[in-house]
Amino acid sequence: MARSAAHEGAGWFEARGLAAFRGERLVLEGVSFRLEAGGALLLRGPNGAGKSTLLRVLAGLIPPAAGALLWRGEDALADLSYHARRLAYLGHQDAVKPGLSVAENLAFAASGGGDIDAALAALGLAPLADLPARFLSAGQRRRLALARLPLACAPLWLLDEPGNGLDESSLASLGALSDRHRAAGGMVIAATHHDLPFPGASQLSLT
Partner 1 sequence: MTLFFSLIARELRLSLRHGADTLAALLFFFLAGTLFPLAIGPAPAELARIAPGIVWVAALLAALLPLDRLFGADFEDGALDQLLLSGLPAAAIALAKACGHWLTTGLPLLLAAAPLALMLRVRAESLPVLLGGLLPGTLALSLLGTAGAAIVLGARRGGVLLPLLVLPLAVPVLIFGTTASAAAAVHLPVRPHLLLLFAVLAVLLPLAPLAAGAALRAAAE
The only residue of 67, 85, 131, 164 in contact with partner 1, by rule CB under 8 A: 85
Site string for partner 1, 27-66 (x = CB under 8 A): -----------------------------x--xxxxx---
The only residue of 10, 37, 87, 187 in contact with partner 1, by rule CB under 8 A: 87
Alpha carbons 159 and 193: distance in angstroms, whole number: 12
**67 sits near partner 1 (criterion: CB under 8 A):** no
In this structure, the number of other CB atoms found within 10 A of the CB of residue 12 comes to 14
Shortest CB 168 distance to partner 1, Å? 25
Binders of partner 1 among residues 97 to 136 (CB under 8 A) are: 97, 99-100, 104, 107-109, 111-112
Binders of partner 1 among residues 134 to 173 (CB under 8 A) are: 148
Shortest CB 128 distance to partner 1, Å? 17
72 Cβ contact partners less than 8 Å away, ≥ 6 residues apart: 11, 12
Which residue, 97 or 194, has its beta carbon nearer to partner 1? 97
E strand residue ranges, the chain: 12-22, 25-36, 40-44, 66-71, 74-75, 87-90, 156-160, 187-191, 202-205
In this structure, the number of other CB atoms found within 10 A of the CB of residue 112 comes to 13
Alpha carbons 160 and 16: distance in angstroms, whole number: 21
Shortest CB 108 distance to partner 1, Å? 5
Which residue, 148 or 181, has its beta carbon nearer to partner 1? 148
Can you name the residues that pair with 136 across neighbouring β-strands? none
**92 sits near partner 1 (criterion: CB under 8 A):** yes
For 13-40, b where at least 16 C-beta lie within 10 A, e where not — what string? bbbeebbbeeeeeebbeebebebebebb
The only residue of 94, 143, 185, 187 in contact with partner 1, by rule CB under 8 A: 94
Q: How many residues bind partner 1 (CB under 8 A)?
A: 30
Q: Give the ranges where the chain is alpha helix by DSSP (H).
A: 51-59, 80-85, 102-105, 116-122, 138-146, 148-152, 168-183
**26 sits near partner 1 (criterion: CB under 8 A):** no
Residues that bind partner 1 (CB under 8 A): 56, 59-63, 80-82, 84-85, 87-89, 91-97, 99-100, 104, 107-109, 111-112, 148
